[in-house]
Amino acid sequence: MPQRTALPDGLGPRFSYADARLAGVTQARLRGRDLASPFRGVRTTRTLPTSPSREPGDARADLLLRARELATVLRPGEFFSHDTAAAVWGAPLPSGADLGVLHVAVHEGHIRRMFGVSGHRMNERLTQVCRHDGLPVTDPASTWASLGAWRGADLTAVGDFFCRVWRAGVGRPSAGRAPLATPEQLRLALAAGQRRGADTLRESLGLVRLDSWSPRETGCRLILLAAGLPEPALNCDVFAADGAFLGCVDMAYPPERIAVEYQGRQHSDTYARDVERLARLRAAGWIVIEVTAELYTRPDVLAARVRAALNSRGGSE
């Protein structure tokens, strides 16, 4: 078998057909079996084995990889939007979200029509564009305001993600890092003009908080509020009477010493630390309600447990 001609170093692992031709690569070489064509006019090197089976966490990574591949042929003025922009920013996506389609928008000119791509034309007055991680994308506030077709709880989770304030505290990472957006920026994006799902966005905006660390924490908080329970404080550092640090809790009613903890998937070392943290809280007189994935799907039961704990401590509703 004849040896393949090496590609120019400057092309990298993904490149446009046009750039390769300008670099002197022949058409025959661009048809080589060591290259893939994920989109028309795009070539990538086959450096990783492909498999029909995927791990559950791979869907977002696959989407971001395809976004980088498509970015090699984006025209001036094109940018990633909607669900794809949310994924680029790392925001939580709804369960069952379709990550097989890339959303690409323009302010003016031709809408991209290509297999695997959903094209949009977005009003420039309503949409701010920037670059994030090397990709042209709607900014956080514009991204949130473009997702009005989503359920309110999912919109609130994205708003919480964008507006999280990285506060100082015991063992907290990235203290002082600026939030990606502020509630005021979300409000201005919503108020800039007509939006799909404006009523849902408006309701969601009123529920966005600065101290939620995960979409399931957001979901638990919304379940409690929907049941008419008091709003819990979020991600509170708890200290003993002697000043010893007991731990940080997802949601808390500090006067009643009640903590609500969502228990997601954990590695053994994390699990061990959480067991010890919750044991310290209980030893200090706190009621700790642990929310498993199964309990999360039974909001009435979750709300009833928190209500009963509040009533046992004389908490008001």
User: Can you spell out the DSSP letters for 117-138?
Assistant: EEEEE--GGG--EEEETTEEEE
**pLDDT, position 2:** 59
Structure tokens at 108: 């003016």
Residue 65: phi, psi to the nearest 5? -65, -45
Structure tokens at 57: 């966490």
Residues 6 or more apart whose Cβ sits within 8 Å of residue 313: 253, 256, 257, 258, 287
Helix (H) or strand (E) holding 189: helix 183-191
Structure tokens at 115: 């297999």
Contact indicator for 143, 88 with CB cutoff of 8 Å: no
**pLDDT, position 1:** 47
Alpha carbons 98 and 117: distance in angstroms, whole number: 12
Residue 86: phi, psi to the nearest 5? -60, -40
Alpha carbons 311 and 256: distance in angstroms, whole number: 10
CATH architecture of 215-312: 3-Layer(aba) Sandwich (3.40)
Task: Kindly report, as residue ranges, where domains of CATH 3.40.960.10 are found in the chain.
Answer: 215-312
Per-10-residue mean pLDDT, the chain, length 317: 76 84 83 84 70 56 93 95 97 89 95 92 96 97 97 98 96 94 98 96 98 96 98 96 94 96 72 88 96 96 98 77
**pLDDT, position 317:** 55
Helix (H, G, I), strand (E, B) or coil at 306: helix
**pLDDT, position 52:** 40
**pLDDT, position 50:** 44
Alpha carbons 110 and 106: distance in angstroms, whole number: 8
**pLDDT, position 311:** 96
